[in-house]
Amino acid sequence: MKRFKRLIAVWLAIFAMPAYAASAEPSHVIATIGSHPITQQEVDSRLKAQLTAIDSQVYDLRRKTIESMADDYVIEQAAGKAKLSVADYMKREVMDKTPTPSDADAKKFYDANKAQIKQPYEKVQAQVVAFLRQQEASEQREKLLNSLRADQPLKIKLKPPRFKVAAEGHPELGPKDAPVTIVEFGDFQCPFCKKSEDSIKQVRAKYADKVRLIYMDFPLSFHPNALPAAEAARCAGDQGKFWQFHDALFDAQPNLKSADLKAAAAKLGLDRQKFDSCLDQNKYQNAVRIDQAEGESLGVDGTPAFFINGRPLTGAQPAGEFEQIIDEELSPSAERVAKAHP
């Protein structure tokens, strides 16, 4: 919350700047250091990624606040009809309907997670039981809210931030005229990118030709094999097998050294002479760096990072997070906007 408050303060400060600052010519000199000028364009270029991230985070904060206010409203209305206080109503509808986990359930959870817990079961039994009951209570609360929202659907009219991604010419799956385009910035050595593959596959299976997926490279500096892996995937793309190589790289994690890349190429039946020459000569290194620069200009600082019709979604999210945005983009009110984002 403190971080969000700082972000909002920065956001408000930026948009509270005098009008002349926002409307200044890009070449307008707004500062000097000695005899060296600093132009509006140079400052805006440096700020672009930060402003992009702030814009997205402010939207997320506003949306979460609206959802929380809506939840409070439907609960207050239901409690009033039941002639109970909110606290008593929630106790009746949530806590009283949440059973205490059995010792067998607690032990099963402990056994599955004891490597992380690192304490004897007898010492943490009470905490495990409390944790499991809290989880059950959260699920019961969500069921209650779903039933209460059924008669009073929430309609959020906030306009989500959208960012233009220079993604044309990159590997893609799905029809070009699909109403929803997902652009992914990924890193083949990133375990979270591998984890997100399941969500992407679920989304593509559910929405079929309504979704187009585009892949762009964002090898992280602390993953030494990510850059050559990205180059290798493009070399495989020269022979029409980018996506097969893409899947092979994630399956091979963490074995992504040069010998592993060439072995994967051989397994896919690629022309080894062409592939090895492409990889050894770093044919696509500059192209990968251009993708990185594009991602950085959009505020990407980790992987995976997605832009769904220009709307950012960060991290290895469950399929439901993608589906929420996609469903909004497929609604009639979003159709015109969606078509404007390749």
pLDDT tens column, 48-106: 777 777 888 898 899 999 999 999 999 999 999 999 999 999 999 999 999 999 999 99
Q: Is residue 191 part of a domain?
A: yes
Q: What is the CA radius of gyration of the chain?
A: 25
Query: What's the total number of domains in the chain?
Result: 3
193 plus 60 within the same structural domain? no
What value, to the nearest 5°, has the Cα angle with vertex 22 and ends 21 and 23? 95
**What percentage of the chain exceeds 90 in pLDDT?**
76
Are 183 and 41 in the same domain?
Answer: no
Q: Are residues 204 and 271 in the same domain?
A: yes
Position 85 in a domain: no
- This model's pTM is above 0.85: no
- 325 shares a domain with 177: yes
- The reply to whether 135 falls in a domain is yes
pLDDT tens-digit profile of 189-205? 999 999 999 999 999 99
User: Does the residue 6 lie in any domain?
Assistant: yes
**Residue 88 falls inside a structural domain:** no
Same domain? 102 vs 66 = no
Specify the pLDDT at position 41: 83
> Tokens 């206080």 label which residue?
85
- Clarify whether residues 194 and 66 are in a common domain: no
Residues 249 and 330 in one domain: yes
CA 309 to chain centre: 13
Are 18 and 100 within one domain? no
Beta bridge partners of 216: 185
**Spans of the chain, pLDDT less than 70:** 1-26, 333-342
Same domain, 135 and 57: no
Residues 50 and 129 in one domain: no
So what's the pLDDT on residue 6?
53
Q: Is 287 left (phi over 0), alpha (psi -120 to 50) or beta?
A: alpha
Measured from the Cβ of residue 104, the count of other Cβ atoms closer than 10 Å reads 8
Residue type, 73: Y
pLDDT at 55: 80
- 82: in domain: no
Rounded-to-integer distance, Cα 236 and Cα 247, Å: 12
**Domain boundary pick from 36, 70, 104:** 70
Helix (H, G, I), strand (E, B) or coil at 307: strand
Quick one: 203 and 319 in the same domain? Answer: yes
Q: Residue 59: which domain range?
A: 2-70
pLDDT for residue 151: 85
Which pLDDT does position 14 carry in this prediction?
A: 43
**pLDDT of amino acid 25:** 64
**Residue 207 belongs to some domain of the structure:** yes
CATH number, domain containing residue 284: 3.40.30.10
Q: Is residue 325 part of a domain?
A: yes
268/131 same-domain check: no
Q: Measuring CA to CA, how many Å separate 336 from each of 114, 313, 326, 339?
A: 51, 21, 14, 6
Contacts of residue 182, Cβ cutoff 8 Å, sequence gap at least 6: 200, 203, 211, 212, 213, 214, 306, 307, 308, 322
* Distances 140 to 13, 72, 151 between C-alpha atoms, Å: 41, 16, 18
Residue 92: per-residue pLDDT: 97
